[in-house]
A and B are shown apart, each in its own frame.
Chain A
């Protein structure tokens, strides 16, 4: 796990879990989210299994996941999160490579909140994430266990 905290303004710390097997891609995802207005803590998982271990450790405000990964795939992770009352409310963004409409539809069908196509535009990803975080803030304020 790699965690980093950015406090560039705002008040509430937002915790984001990035699940992605490519180190470079993880780093790109992280750097994109570092530019958010609110302070964020980014936790990186390099596999679905690692994500499963990390989930109960912290109260995440958002999860970003890839689909094609070894051990469990992103869809299975989405299914786990959305079927678990503890995590079901966490907004979920799938970031995956284009050309797989079926996987995309499945992801959204399983309850993922957004689907961003790789190669992604950092600005677009930030917008999606900000929207999801503010919607969540509006609904129920992050508990910050």
Chain B
């Protein structure tokens, strides 16, 4: 494998004692190891950050580096380095055996430990012995590790007992390999033994090829050499592989490598070929599912059971346990023809989000066409002469509608990504802040599986980072301050997400100093944002924080950025059709709540009429609609309000918002109750015209900045109508308190 290192020209005449004291040699190799280790660590951090799975081999490699370093330093009596490496090795051992989660603080400690090791090696290279200072810093660091890693190790339940694997095989597994084997079992992977013989002089190339083929669809847990048929010239390898694919498919893949695939079953399972073929296939339910004495596959599964059926049942089983990506897309049937085996094994495809946008646009166009068909069908049905054709067309429209809904749901589903990746980014930001600000803050996440449109997720990162930074920088006090206030010295930041209907709600709460209502109010009055004698509810005052000019703290800091405040956060979120709310209690903490639509691509809209105009209101913001008589509308502080089940609901007239002549105030009207986050607003309109799926198109040209409008959509025969920006209308209504 690795190229041989050139001989360092040692000679036999050198006295052994001197050789063993040759620190120079030590430093050279130790530095090499350390370099590899730090390189691997940053690779590992990268993989971790990308939210993907971290390559177990990589973790193991870092572990081995620390392990080698420990052993080497020990031989030279360099205790400080040896101890430090030993503690890093402990962390890594925990990571590779799955006892410690691969996240901060472990990763931080490893990075810091690598730096410290580098410093120690430097000293040794420059001839000086380890100083007392070094020893102290190592001790302090080790204490840090001990404190952070105090979590008790939990012994893994043993799944290995169940595998029908020869004891001689299990005996040769290191603890790490045992862990990997368990991990493969836990994921419901199939377990197979792949045997191959090679000539003794060139087995490495052949084995490397075989291994790389196997790695495409699984993990090579162990490579056990056994004597070949002619032990003088041949060597046989048995590779224990945890794999996602069926054994007969695997056989196709290793074809041409002169390898045999042997199925490894679980103890106590019936031997498939003693049972009728039909039952064999249904017995394949458990992912590791064949004979007690491992036997070549062609004896049963592949030949006797109908191949397609076997493939199907066995594939479904692991899907329940494994990460869904690989198994969700139905694989081509396990046809062990050689053509099949040449194809890529991966069942996942990476797609540029822009391609999905194009696809979504197409779906959108189709939705519009479908609406047109629906309108036409209605028109035809209304006319006696064409009613028959109309009914036919109506049926087609319905069928089209169903399929289109499926297509739409399918495309939408592909666009959905869990918020986990955003949370991971936030965790990184917090790690950095912790370091930079020296504040001890615990970070708690919940609801990382909540899914949102990829596009929204991407644009959500900046506002969320901003909110988190604010909490860190301004809200959470220094440890000393916290202790004085009777709080635990360590602050807590909780970030949680959950789906509520068509919306996703993300809450960021801290247990920091909170904000005083009177202070916000005073500042808002000072800046002329509200009148000194204006009555505002507590909530309204809190939400003044999102006004430009008020939002940032007085001190502009490195962390929270320069002058970019909560007003920008609100604007960014509004662009996504979202709302942001804030509740704070002095001394107790602050909670910022973000409400976002699940997707921007297609929305259901309520079509309303005002005068001769029509508007579309995103249905996800509509709580209810009702008819009101003029006398039900009351007034309070110059605003029109409606008594909605005992609660006053502020009203706005949509016609007035856009200066459209509309029904006189004396006539009965409709109220559309809009809700976004915690805010409510009643919108008075003349007519309710219906609902439809709409694709919002951005408006280009001079009207694109039109306040209160997010875009346009097509509405049957009526051409383009405007889509109301609900969050802007609600926001404006709350701000323009003294209207009318």
User: Does B12 contact A4, Cβ atoms closer than 8 Å?
Assistant: yes
Q: Which residues of B contact A97 (CB under 8 A)?
A: 67, 70-71, 74
Contacting residue for B1 out of A25, A71, A78, A80, CB 8 A: A71
Q: In chain A between 3 and 55, which residues have their CB closer than 8 angstroms to a CB of chain B?
A: 4-6, 21-25, 27-28, 31-32, 34-35, 46-50, 52-53
B2 on interface, CB distance cutoff 8 Å = yes
User: Does A49 contact B204, Cβ atoms closer than 8 Å?
Assistant: yes
Q: In chain A between 101 and 118, which residues have their CB closer than 8 angstroms to a CB of chain B?
A: 102-103, 106, 109-110, 118
Shortest beta-carbon distance, A70 to chain B, in Å?
6
User: Does A46 contact B2, Cβ atoms closer than 8 Å?
Assistant: yes
Contacting residue for A68 out of B10, B16, B64, B232, CB 8 A: B64
Taken together as a complex, chains A and B put the C-alpha atoms of A103 and B203 apart, in Å, by 27
Q: Which residues of A contact B4 (CB under 8 A)?
A: 46, 50
B171 on interface, CB distance cutoff 8 Å = yes
User: Does A83 contact B227, Cβ atoms closer than 8 Å?
Assistant: yes
User: Does B175 contact A46, Cβ atoms closer than 8 Å?
Assistant: no
Q: Which residues of A contact B174 (CB under 8 A)?
A: 67-68, 73, 75, 103, 106
Taken together as a complex, chains A and B put the C-alpha atoms of A67 and B172 apart, in Å, by 11
Taken together as a complex, chains A and B put the C-alpha atoms of A71 and B233 apart, in Å, by 20
Q: Which residues of B contact A24 (CB under 8 A)?
A: 25-26, 29, 72, 75
B421 on interface, CB distance cutoff 8 Å = no
User: Does A28 contact B20, Cβ atoms closer than 8 Å?
Assistant: yes
Q: Which residues of A contact B177 (CB under 8 A)?
A: 73
A2 on interface, CB distance cutoff 8 Å = yes
User: Does B71 contact A119, Cβ atoms closer than 8 Å?
Assistant: yes
Taken together as a complex, chains A and B put the C-alpha atoms of A67 and B74 apart, in Å, by 17
Taken together as a complex, chains A and B put the C-alpha atoms of A5 and B224 apart, in Å, by 31
Taken together as a complex, chains A and B put the C-alpha atoms of A122 and B291 apart, in Å, by 50
Q: In chain B between 22 and 76, which residues have their CB closer than 8 angstroms to a CB of chain A?
A: 25-26, 29, 33, 61, 64, 67-68, 70-72, 74-75
User: Does A25 contact B72, Cβ atoms closer than 8 Å?
Assistant: yes
A143 on interface, CB distance cutoff 8 Å = no
Closest B residue by C-beta to A67: B174
Closest A residue by C-beta to B72: A24
A59 on interface, CB distance cutoff 8 Å = no
Contact A56/B200 with A22-B29, A67-B174, A78-B172 known, Cβ cut-off 8 Å:
yes
Contacting residue for B16 out of A76, A85, A120, A122, CB 8 A: A122
Q: Other CB < 8 Å A-B pairs besides A24-B26, A79-B168, 14 of them?
A: A23-B8, A46-B5, A52-B200, A52-B235, A53-B203, A56-B231, A73-B177, A79-B224, A79-B225, A84-B227, A85-B227, A86-B231, A118-B75, A119-B82
Using a CB–CB cutoff of 8 Å, the interface residues on chain B facing chain A are 1-2, 4-5, 7-8, 10, 12, 14, 16, 19-20, 25-26, 29, 33, 61, 64, 67-68, 70-72, 74-75, 82, 86, 168, 171-175, 177, 200-201, 203-204, 207, 222-227, 231-233, 235
Give 16 pairs: A residue, B residue, CB < 8 Å, sorted on A: A67-B174, A68-B174, A73-B177, A75-B172, A76-B224, A77-B225, A80-B224, A80-B227, A86-B227, A86-B231, A99-B86, A103-B174, A109-B171, A119-B74, A119-B75, A120-B75
